[in-house]
């Protein structure tokens, strides 16, 4: 299990450091509507799948994707736009559902 975890973190580092930064530059050139949010979700799902394939919980991969989504990966305007959208979804939907489900326990 330690070997799998080490392999996972090495792969995450390599993917996040090289691939995500390269794709971030590619996104800057495309300028398609709502592509940035879709890109972030696809990266999160792919890293979640990688974590599952290595025998770990999928949430580790999704969390790692969030770690590589930074201002240096994409431009400031795109970062702010995607952050605002995710905050709206989180605060408007997921937070109330979470607190309501905690209240049922």
Q: Tens digit of pLDDT for each residue in 39-78? A: 888 888 988 898 898 888 888 888 888 887 777 767 787 7
Query: Average pLDDT in the 2-11 region?
Result: 83
Count of structural domains within the chain: 1
pLDDT of residue 66: 80
CA–CA distance, 3 with 23 (Å, rounded to integer)? 28
Helical ranges in the chain per DSSP H: 2-14, 21-30, 35-53, 58-68, 76-89, 95-104
Q: What residue numbers bound the domain in which 48 lies?
A: 2-104
In the structure encoding, which two tokens stand for residue 30, read together? 């495309």
Asked whether the predicted pLDDT for residue 21 surpasses 80, the reply is no
Instruction: Using the structure block, give the residue that is written with the tokens 């995500």.
Output: 20
Asked whether the predicted pLDDT for residue 30 surpasses 80, the reply is no
Q: pTM score > 0.85 for this model?
A: no
Predicted confidence band of residue 24 (pLDDT cuts 50, 70, 90): low
pLDDT of residue 14: 82
pLDDT in tens, 69-104: 777 767 787 788 888 888 888 888 988 988 998 888
Q: Using an 8 Å Cβ cutoff, are 44 and 62 in contact?
A: yes
């Amino acid at each position: 299990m330690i070997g799998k975890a080490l392999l996972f973190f090495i792969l995450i580092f390599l993917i996040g450091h090289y691939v995500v930064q390269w794709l971030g530059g590619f996104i800057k050139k495309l300028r398609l509507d709502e592509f940035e949010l879709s890109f972030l979700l696809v990266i999160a799902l792919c890293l979640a799948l990688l974590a599952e394939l290595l025998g770990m919980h999928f949430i580790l991969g999704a969390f790692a994707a969030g770690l590589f989504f930074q201002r240096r990966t994409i431009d400031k305007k795109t970062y702010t736009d995607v952050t605002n959208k995710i905050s709206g979804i989180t605060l408007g939907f997921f937070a109330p559902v979470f607190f309501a489900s905690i209240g049922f326990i």
